[in-house]
Amino acid sequence: MDDVLYEGKSKIVCTGRDESTLLIRFKDSATAFNGEKKAELPGKAQLNAAISNIIFNYLAQHGIQSHVIEVIDKTSVLVKKADIIMVEIIVRNIAAGSFSKKFGIAEGTVLHNTAIEFCIKSDDLGDPMINESQITAIGLAQPQELAEMIQQSLKINDLLYALFAKAGIKLVDFKLEFGRCGGQIILCDEISPDSCRLWDSETEKKLDKDRFRLDLGNVLDAYREVLGRLQNV
Ligand code: TMP
């Protein structure tokens, strides 16, 4: 175990126990704006791994299959090797970020229904937005795979919205990735304050990577707050 196969912006992928597994090591690096803004935040790896493990475990208990097999240590998880579908799914409950900017909708506006967006997972292209017919037209996913991803994303949203509400947190939006494994579509990557917008339910204080993106400070204090609250749910 432990030969590096690929180093990404926030995680390192290593060989696993056998051909069908991989070891994922979370990194302390933070990036934003497609890698233009970078920093080392010592302790981020441990916090994101812990938060993602709690969330994936909760989702598994509610019928969502993911790539996670076993937590190895504080910053590493053993996962199933999946054929990653190169489409990122963004789920939005409340307007923020690029949605607010693109459509001129004030940040914090509660959406009439959950909005689903798709982006191509490509740093070279800058993760461009893509629609369902374009995804299937260029073969990034089959129609039934896309339908399955959307169905799972909506279920994950319902489950996580309820979990975070118990922790006194509004789930504003988040990004998911899926992969093909053993004939099934499974949840991959991570779910953490790097990939979600999380606001305190009372004060709307940002408890996620926007603190880094927008230079709001106290980034890891916010991540620690999210972990502490999830541990107490
Ligand atoms: P956006 O408003 O910038 O499009 O981001 C929507 C959500 O997706 C937000 O929760 C942050 C997350 N996200 C990622 O996880 N990775 C990314 O590369 C981007 C741009 C957003």
Out of 94, 120, 173, give the residue to mutate to test ligand 1, the one with the largest number of ligand atoms within 8 Å of its CB.
Answer: 173
For 75-124, where are the E strands, in sequence order?
A: 76-80, 83-84, 87-94, 110-120
pLDDT along the chain (233 residues), means of 10: 90 98 98 96 98 98 98 98 98 98 98 98 97 98 98 98 98 99 98 98 98 98 98 97
Taking the centre of ligand 1 as the mean of its atom positions, its distance from the CA of residue 18, in whole angstroms, is: 33
45 vs 66: CA distance, rounded Å = 20
pLDDT of res. 1: 52
Q: What's this model's pTM, rounded to 2 decimal places?
A: 0.97
Mean pLDDT (the chain) is: 98
98 vs 23: CA distance, rounded Å = 32
In this structure, what DSSP letter does residue 182 have?
T
Taking the centre of ligand 1 as the mean of its atom positions, its distance from the CA of residue 212, in whole angstroms, is: 13
